[in-house]
Structure 1
Amino acid sequence: MKAFDIVTITVNPALDKSTHFKGLVAEQKIRCATPRYDAGGGGINVSKAIARLGGESLAVFTSGGATGKILEDLVEKESIAYHAIEVETWTRESFVAVDDNTNSQYRFGFTGGEISLEEESKLLETISTIQSRFIVASGSLNEGLSTDFYQKIAKIAKKSNSKLIVDTSGEALKKVLETGVYLIKPNVGELAKLIGVEKLEMEEVNAAAKQIIASGGAEIVVVSLGPQGAVLVTKNSYDYVPAPNVAKKSTVGAGDSMVGGMTWALAQNKPLKEVIRWGVACGSAATMNEGTQLFKLEDAKRLFEWLKDK
């Protein structure tokens, strides 16, 4: 298998559908526009973001049933190298619909099918055979997978000297910090839970992130502040980047675009000051597009130029 600087892992991918309609009325048939289909799920979206920036990655993901085959076709059309691991249950779907009368967006997500112990072993075995500088584990976990699944990947990454970037939440994120990773991207609420407090004020974010770093949980903590931007914290640094003011159409995939932008910049050996700005630029650019389309390269580049001196 060809060596890749970046490998993304998506254990719970989704076939994303998006459409438009006019007027939501209970118990009446809602006429929808022709749907758009996109390959979705945390790691796949990260690989798509990296490809938009001109980078390469290997997307490793599960694939099951007819929806899984469509997902594979969509990834291939994006010219992304991939390794699909066949599972018995069908790949889940997600659905985004925009009411043109109100410009309200409705997002419907389904849980992923159960992953068997045999399929989990196949996943971990595949990951252990791949050599890469960066591994990105992103997204939710399927039923049947224990909350320490990403922790198992962290142990594999340590053995192979790969830098693991994790974008997940809840118990799965807490567990992986016990082993330690290279980078995590919680939002403020998730960061508060990680250090055992109810909430955090803006001025408390730096100390909270450094608490995780001091305990060996992560080398870099990027905290997403939503419309306020993001901060990147290391043992010896703190860098706040404001979010540019853009016309938002959809927040779907914005977080994944941010991770993709940062991972691409890290693989390009860019300084951390630029890494966080590429992340914010890509995440903000993704909100400018409808449905599940992620970002346009020209938008990301323009926003990065604006952020360079911020």
Structure 2
Amino acid sequence: MKTVATLTMNPTIDVSYDVGTVRHTHKMRTDNEWYAPGGGGINVARVLARLGTPTRCLYLSGGATGPALDGLIDAHQLPRTRIPIGGPTRIASAVLERDSGKEFRFTPSGPRLSEPEWRACLDALAEADCGLVVLSGSLPPGAPDNFYAMAIQLLRQRGVEVVLDSSGPALQRGIEAGGLLLVKPSQGELAELAGRTLEGIEAIGEAAMRIVETGQAGLVAVTMGHQGAVLARREGPVFLPAPRIHAASAVGAGDSFVAGMVHALGSGKEELEAFRWGVASGSAAVLRAGTDLARPADIRRLLLHIGAP
């Protein structure tokens, strides 16, 4: 199985805790406090490592909070390449209100990068010893919209396969670079790319197939939350409903989906089976409150309830 490297341009220290009722002004005592390393690529690497895929995470870290992120990644025993920056690593919070069962999420925009800092990320990718790279997450302030496009071009020249999961202009420019193994937009992100509302499985499949037909990506997996997901491939689009579960948190569901598909593809499973692994992994992530992400036992249990697309 080839080593998978993940790049996280805007990592986080993810803090989650529970509170009885959220009330303004009042001091609210919390419990079930949990700290985890986060951000798209780091989340993907955490799940890949649990599934047994050789993994290395590349990420930026800086300021007073940077060493805390480094320590959390080490606690998860993830091989890592740290790219130092001057700005402080951001801290994101997820608060579960027990009385309502609702989750409140607070995510800063992240530190502003200088050009030497984001170019150092490209240098790290040029030296990464891997067969596949997952580019996942938002771009921080200061990084150009075409950063992922530059990364994709660099990696394709090296013969490295690329998976992309981002949003907005960064996602659009990355797709335009072409040659992707897999791209994973949400339904809303795909609608933004298409420039119109996408209602229904057929419309989503048609928009996703345009990306495949132009050669920009071999696979396009469109996640639709609790409704399931659509996979566009050369043979045409297919749909899988999500298994019926009680959702405790939405944190990291998309990242877990990507990890499940990448692990399955890297293990030699064919595309539709990898799609099943993606849906099972995304669903497994929402079973657990906070930032725990998908667990292998949950993924394999849910696979038993997911039929062929």
The TM-score, its normalising length taken from structure 2, stands at 0.96
- 2:214 match: 215
| Cα deviation, residue 306, structure 1 | 2.0
Distance 1:136 1:287 in 2: 21
| Cα deviation, residue 47, structure 1 | 0.3
Structure 1: runs of 5 or more not aligned: none
Distance 1:295 1:261 in 2: 9
| Paired amino acid for 1:264 | H
- The answer to whether residue 18 in structure 2 is matched with residue 23 in structure 1 is no
C-alpha contact (below 8 Å) 1:131/1:160 kept by paired residues:
no
Over the residues paired in the alignment, what is the CA RMSD in angstroms? 1.5
- The answer to whether residue 226 in structure 2 is matched with residue 227 in structure 1 is yes
- 1:137 match: 135
Q: How does 1:54-73 map to 2 (within 5 A)?
A: 54-73=52-71
- 1:90 match: 88
Q: How does 1:54-203 map to 2 (within 5 A)?
A: 54-180=52-178, 181-203=180-202
Distance 2:38 2:81 in 1: 15
SS in 1 for 2:65: helix
- 2:49 match: 51
SS in 2 for 1:176: helix
| Cα deviation, residue 66, structure 1 | 2.9
| Paired amino acid for 1:209 | A
C-alpha contact (below 8 Å) 1:4/1:131 kept by paired residues:
no
Q: Deviations over 1:18-44 (max 9, x none)?
A: 111122222111111252100000000
- 1:204 match: 203
- The answer to whether residue 275 in structure 2 is matched with residue 292 in structure 1 is no
SS in 1 for 2:284: helix
2:33 to 32, 35, 55: 35
| Cα deviation, residue 239, structure 1 | 2.5
| Cα deviation, residue 196, structure 1 | 2.5
C-alpha contact (below 8 Å) 2:136/2:166 kept by paired residues:
yes
SS in 2 for 1:25: coil
Structure 2: runs of 5 or more not aligned: none
Distance 2:210 2:32 in 1: 49
C-alpha contact (below 8 Å) 1:177/1:216 kept by paired residues:
no
Change (3 A) 1:101 1:192: closer
Distance 1:212 1:309 in 2: 23
Q: Deviations over 1:219-245 (max 9, x none)?
A: 111111211111211122333211001
- 1:307 match: 306
Change (3 A) 1:239 1:201: closer
Percent identity of equivalent pairs: 35
The TM-score, its normalising length taken from structure 1, stands at 0.95
C-alpha contact (below 8 Å) 1:188/1:200 kept by paired residues:
no
SS in 1 for 2:209: helix
C-alpha contact (below 8 Å) 1:131/1:162 kept by paired residues:
no
Distance 2:294 2:196 in 1: 34
Distance 2:185 2:222 in 1: 5
| Cα deviation, residue 193, structure 1 | 2.2
| Cα deviation, residue 309, structure 1 | 4.2
